[in-house]
Homo-oligomer: A and B are copies of this chain.
Amino acid sequence: MSKDAKQGVAETIAAELRDAIERGEYRPGDQLPGENALIKDYGAARLTVRSALGMLQAEGLTTTRRGVGVFVRSFDPIVRNGISRVSARKWKAGRSVWDDETRGRRPTVDHFEIVAEVDAPDDIAAILDSDDKVATRRRRYLLDDKPVIVATSYLPAALVAGSQILAEDTGAGGIYARLADLGHAPAHFREDIVGRMPTKAESEELAMPAGTPVFVVTRTAVTESGDPVEVNVMVMDAGAYVLRYDFDA
């Protein structure tokens, strides 16, 4: 059989399995037929069957458990409400950005790193419009034992020196409430979202499944007088999130 013909067979197998998943014949968590069963059913070569299964994995429809088999992916994402989670009403009331959105499944921090003073990376310096030193708060969050997000906040070092913003526990309402205490309450936010494949380092830190992209959300907090006071760069397993924005016309 020619290479093109094999490719055609692989696509047929992938299409039929995809349809069966979409019809609900295989549900999230279900195991798909094994390689040997597919080889027999379709009279196809092993490599052709693997190519078909690879297509479904690349589309994020399935995951492979090594030595066990191929399973329909359970997509029970975190619905992240970009706007309400950081509303002033919330942090002024001493509440956390994690409240509400995860339907009781609250990510936990497993890595944590605070640096009081360091040079700002070029892209961060450009957003902060300053070459001054920054303080950084970097933390990785797990959900159901799987890392889902690594968030790194950059704040002007001179502004936050000696404040609770550099403590692991930033207190009720978090860093936005503390910035307000310092007279620099955020008044406006910008979130810029990029989607791309993870770098090797990101892939390892987030234990990314093959064929899954990351979201990189860069949020800038700006005071009423227009000063940027924080940039938070969040690298997320895109397979774990739906990013939601609710707004008026």
Beta-carbon contacts of A1-41 to B below 8 Å, as 1s and 0s? 00000000001001000100000000000000000000000
Asked if A185 lies at the interface with its beta carbon under 8 angstroms from chain B, I say: yes
- Contact of B60 with A246 in the complex, beta carbons under 8 Å: no
Give A167 Cβ to nearest chain B Cβ, in Å.
22
For A249, the chain B residues whose CB sits under 8 A away are: 86-88, 176, 185-189, 221
- Contact of A245 with B196 in the complex, beta carbons under 8 Å: no
Closest partner residue, chain B, to A193 (CB atom): B243
For the complex, what is the distance from the CA of A176 to the CA of B247, rounded to whole Å? Answer: 15
Beta-carbon contacts of A212-249 to B below 8 Å, as 1s and 0s? 11110000010000000000000000110111111111
Interface residues of A in 68-106 (CB under 8 A from B): 77, 79, 82-83, 86-88
For A192, the chain B residues whose CB sits under 8 A away are: 79, 242-244
For the complex, what is the distance from the CA of A239 to the CA of B185, rounded to whole Å? Answer: 34
Asked if A211 lies at the interface with its beta carbon under 8 angstroms from chain B, I say: yes
Asked if A171 lies at the interface with its beta carbon under 8 angstroms from chain B, I say: no
Interface residues of A in 178-214 (CB under 8 A from B): 185-200, 211-214
Asked if A109 lies at the interface with its beta carbon under 8 angstroms from chain B, I say: no
Asked if A116 lies at the interface with its beta carbon under 8 angstroms from chain B, I say: no
Give A5 Cβ to nearest chain B Cβ, in Å.
17
